[in-house]
Chains A and B, each alone.
Chain A
């Protein structure tokens, strides 16, 4: 069974369209994340949800909106797609580290390669 899954794996779309990427984890984790890997291969945090509550929102354009219907799911909706949004998007999850600790080990999904034409 896949621990962290994402759909779709590949997404090709036109500029200006709206698209969503879905993520599900079956690890029983409380915290989920979205990362973006750009053309220079850097992995950068975009959002994090803990128990369906947004806890990290890193200077991401408001065209990007995460939605967490429950602890096991964190979807990413992108409005008015731009060429610069082309990247690989990774979902991850971890246990809630709790106060006074660092983040627990994060487990990643396989990634969604988004290409905006």
Chain B
């Protein structure tokens, strides 16, 4: 029972353009959301997070948007760079819950 869903398994984008990654969740108790980036043969690396009290959080080229009513969040990367080519995981946690629930990941390929 996947409570966090990333319905696009892959995304290809040209260098310099915007990458938009989407994530949907079903558990209304989730109140903290994170994006992780993962290169092959490495562990996931924390990228950016957002609390449910906000609808946007920005960190350099990365912006996460949260739409609580739609139970949807997105990650915008602009401009996309070749080093952004990786698998991106959306994750969420609920109040008083230590664990993270992960989506299946979206593989981003940035073309030169």
Known: A33-B99, A48-B98. A108 touches B44 (CB 8 A): yes
Q: Which of A14-22, A73-81, A98-106 forms part of the interface with chain B?
A: A98-106
Q: Is B25 an interface residue (CB 8 A)?
A: no
Interface residues of chain B, those whose CB is within 8 Å of chain A, are: 2, 31-32, 34, 36, 41-46, 49, 51, 87, 89, 91, 93-102, 104-105
Known: A4-B43, A105-B34, A108-B43. A41 touches B105 (CB 8 A): yes
Interface residues of chain A, those whose CB is within 8 Å of chain B, are: 4, 31, 33, 40-45, 48, 50, 55-56, 58, 90, 92, 94, 97, 99-103, 105-111
Partner of A48, one of B96, B99, B101: B99
Give the number of A-B contacts (CB < 8 Å): 68
Contacts of B94 in A (CB 8 A): 102
Partner of B99, one of A45, A90, A111: A45
Q: Considering the complex, give the chain A residue whose CB is closest to the CB of B9.
A: A41
Contacts of A110 in B (CB 8 A): 41-43
Q: Which 10 A-B pairs have the closest CB atoms?
A: A108-B43, A102-B32, A43-B102, A45-B99, A102-B93, A103-B93, A108-B44, A110-B43, A103-B98, A48-B98
Quote the shortest CB–CB distance from A111 to chain B (angstroms).
5
